[in-house]
């Protein structure tokens, strides 16, 4: 898929941002010389903390604003609280968080059921588009799943 | 209001949720008129980013109209049409003052490794995102930028992430006139990085991917060479041969943690999660750049670590440059590029989907169905 050789200088905008100073040693930040006075700046006023907020232990305090969504709860919340006792350097921080996410997905299903909603997992996985644009592979996958399931069923029945 | 609701890996739905509120005097509430699904949203959707909680609303690429402002907001007013950078930045800390708006120190309580990002897990601050009819925008004096009246909203929404991230990828490459630049990944960011590489004086731009329709699109949009790595036995060897056996001057990783092309990386990164995703593109970038070359990374990797050939970085004297795009820093220049016609971001948009059909939109984008490049979600409140 190689392009035909082109006069690259004719491409709109070619070379417009050439900056000979843009060397690896040339920082892209607007260096202010204040790195060693970095804790001294005018902060915004803090957002009131009205929810349980887990804080990285690599920070001295909450940031001035934070996301308000989904405080920790249930078993996944307990796992997340454990994770946040450890720094971002430790597996003991990240691996429990991934575990908590998986537990949380099951908690979500239970929550739906408690509210009287049966989650439409078929729709949530976008299966309408799957059937529209990927019908062949989708049908193959579905048939394989049914065939394997049926074979396992027969196997179990035979053993009994 | 209607909003996206994450239910677990590969499961999302649109449902009614409470309206966002002003929680801080520098907050604004924005009525969303357009929002996109980003390739990096797929890492959340696939369950690759730790602390992605069920019930979260994703979306860090959105534009809209200011509906309400907190008492200390002075730079935007109710009724303004704004584009909102994906970074949440205070504008006051040492990092923001140096233009590193993607590294703000006052927007993320949950982690120090990344600043706050809209709708990008609790690891990035726990903010709800813009795949909704309304969204809370903190630090509204800093991020939201009034959209020029003559700008197409489809261009504006891509200025919130795709264009700045692609541009900064090329910028961090330190491209010199006459350089050969290799971009890994022909998604929207990779295509934009390839297009922007010419702005810095590249003489040759090559893009590598495995999806033919995207390569064809990239070849036409970014005027670059495009190659499918599945058609070659060894992409690194191919790139060495095609650069006089030296390697490219600059390599750019626009793929991140869900790369294909290396069985070991896929097994350890995507199947067993023994590392934070498959770092195949980064491995190829390091191994196919010239000695003393520059590798620029904008592909997203989760914590805690990835297997990359760091020994080669040392032995080849490679410079690695990486960051979340500093959208606010780049916006004036990029708005000019769009308004002057040098860039046409909206050409990347292939799909427009009502917010109600978000589950199908994610599935189409995730599986690259229907030749999808970029999906825009349209809330019913857009008018």
Provide the ipTM: 0.89
Q: Which residues of A touch B204 (CB under 8 A)?
A: 8
- In the block, which residue shows the tokens 């032995």? B315
CA distance B342 to B163: 12
A118 in contact with B, Cβ within 8 Å: no
- Mean pLDDT estimate for chain B: 96
pTM of the predicted model as reported, rounded to 2 decimal places = 0.92
pLDDT recorded at residue A26: 52
Q: Which chain B residue's Cα is nearest to A2? A: B225
Under 8 Å between Cβ of B124 and B114 = yes
The answer to whether A30 contacts B226, with C-beta atoms less than 8 Å apart, is no
The answer to whether B107 contacts A127, with C-beta atoms less than 8 Å apart, is no
B188-197 vs B162-172: helix axis angle to the nearest 10?
A: 50
Residue pairs spanning A and B at CB distance below 8 A = 262
CA distance B153 to B63: 8
Under 8 Å between Cβ of B64 and B32 = yes
**CA angle, B323 then B104 then B300, to 5°:** 30
Altogether, the residues listed in chain B come to a count of 383
> How many percent of chain B have pLDDT more than 90?
93
Q: Which residues of A touch B360 (CB under 8 A)?
A: 126, 128-129
pLDDT digits (tens, 9 = 90+) for A137-147: 888 988 999 99
pLDDT higher for A20 or B345? B345
Answer yes or no: is pLDDT of B290 > 60.
yes
CA distance A82 to A102: 16
Residue of B24, B224, B242, B366 best to disrupt the A interface, most CBs of A under 10 A: B24
Please name the residues in contact with A75: beta carbons below 8 A apart, sequence gap of 6 or more.
Answer: A103, A107
Tell me which long-range contacts B233-241 makes (C-beta under 8 A, separation of at least 24).
B235/B208, B235/B261, B235/B284, B235/B288, B236/B284, B236/B287, B236/B288, B239/B182, B239/B206, B239/B208, B239/B284, B239/B288, B240/B288
Q: Which residues of B touch A13 (CB under 8 A)?
A: 198-199, 337, 342-343
Torsion of CA B214, B295, A98, B47, to 10 degrees: -10
pLDDT digits (tens, 9 = 90+) for B324-367: 999 999 999 999 999 999 999 999 999 999 999 999 999 999 99
The whole-angstrom distance between B48's CA and the closest CA on chain A is 8
Answer yes or no: is pLDDT of B57 > 80.
yes
CA distance B201 to B165: 18
């Amino acid at each position: 898929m190689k392009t035909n050789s082109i006069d690259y200088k004719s491409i709109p905008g070619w070379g417009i941002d050439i900056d000979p100073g843009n060397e690896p040693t040339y920082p892209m930040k607007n260096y202010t010389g204040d790195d060693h006075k970095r804790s001294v700046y005018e902060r915004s006023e803090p957002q009131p903390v009205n929810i349980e907020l887990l804080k990285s232990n690599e920070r001295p305090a909450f940031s001035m604003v934070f996301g308000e969504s989904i405080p920790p709860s249930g078993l996944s919340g307990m796992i997340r609280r454990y994770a946040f006792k450890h720094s971002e350097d430790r597996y003991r921080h990240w691996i429990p968080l991934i575990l908590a996410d998986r537990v949380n997905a099951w908690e979500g299903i239970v929550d739906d059921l408690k509210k009287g909603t049966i989650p439409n997992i078929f729709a949530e996985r976008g299966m309408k588009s799957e059937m529209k644009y990927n019908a062949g592979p989708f049908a193959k996958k579905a048939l394989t799943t049914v065939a394997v399931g049926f074979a396992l069923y027969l196997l179990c029945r035979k053993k009994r | 209001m209607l909003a996206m609701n994450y239910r677990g890996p590969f499961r999302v739905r649109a449902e009614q949720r409470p309206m966002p509120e002003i929680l801080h005097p520098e907050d604004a509430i924005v009525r969303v008129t357009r929002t996109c699904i980003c390739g990096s949203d797929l890492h959340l959707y696939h369950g690759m980013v730790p602390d992605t909680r069920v019930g979260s609303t994703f979306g860090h690429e959105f534009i809209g109209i200011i509906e309400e402002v907190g008492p200390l907001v002075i730079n935007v007013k109710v009724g303004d049409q704004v584009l909102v950078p994906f970074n949440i930045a205070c504008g006051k800390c040492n990092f923001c003052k140096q233009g590193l708006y993607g590294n703000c120190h006052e927007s993320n309580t949950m982690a120090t490794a990344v600043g706050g990002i809209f709708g990008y897990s609790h690891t990035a601050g726990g903010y709800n995102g813009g795949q909704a009819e309304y969204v809370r925008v903190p630090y509204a004096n800093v991020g939201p930028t009034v959209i020029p009246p003559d700008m197409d909203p489809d261009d504006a929404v891509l200025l919130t992430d795709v264009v700045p991230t692609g541009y900064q990828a090329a910028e961090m490459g330190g491209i010199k006139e006459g350089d050969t630049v290799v971009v890994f990944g022909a998604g929207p960011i990779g295509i934009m990085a390839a297009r922007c590489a010419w702005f810095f004086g590249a003489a040759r731009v090559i893009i590598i991917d495995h999806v033919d329709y995207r390569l064809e699109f990239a070849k036409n949009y970014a005027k670059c060479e495009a190659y499918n790595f599945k058609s070659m036995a060894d992409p690194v060897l191919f790139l060495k041969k095609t650069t006089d056996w030296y390697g490219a001057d600059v390599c750019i990783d626009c793929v991140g943690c869900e790369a294909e092309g290396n069985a070991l990386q896929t097994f350890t990164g995507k199947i067993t999660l023994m590392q934070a995703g498959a770092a195949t593109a980064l491995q190829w970038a390091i191994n196919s750049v010239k000695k003393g070359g520059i590798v620029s990374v904008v592909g997203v990797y989760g914590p805690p670590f990835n297997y990359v050939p760091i020994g080669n970085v040392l032995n080849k004297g490679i410079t690695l440059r990486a960051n979340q795009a500093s959208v606010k820093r780049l916006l004036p220049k990029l708005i000019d590029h769009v308004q002057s016609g040098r860039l046409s971001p909206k050409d990347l948009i292939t799909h427009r989907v009502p917010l109600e059909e978000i589950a199908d939109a994610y599935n189409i984008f995730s599986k690259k169905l229907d030749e999808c490049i970029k999906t825009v979600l349209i809330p019913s409140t857009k008018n």
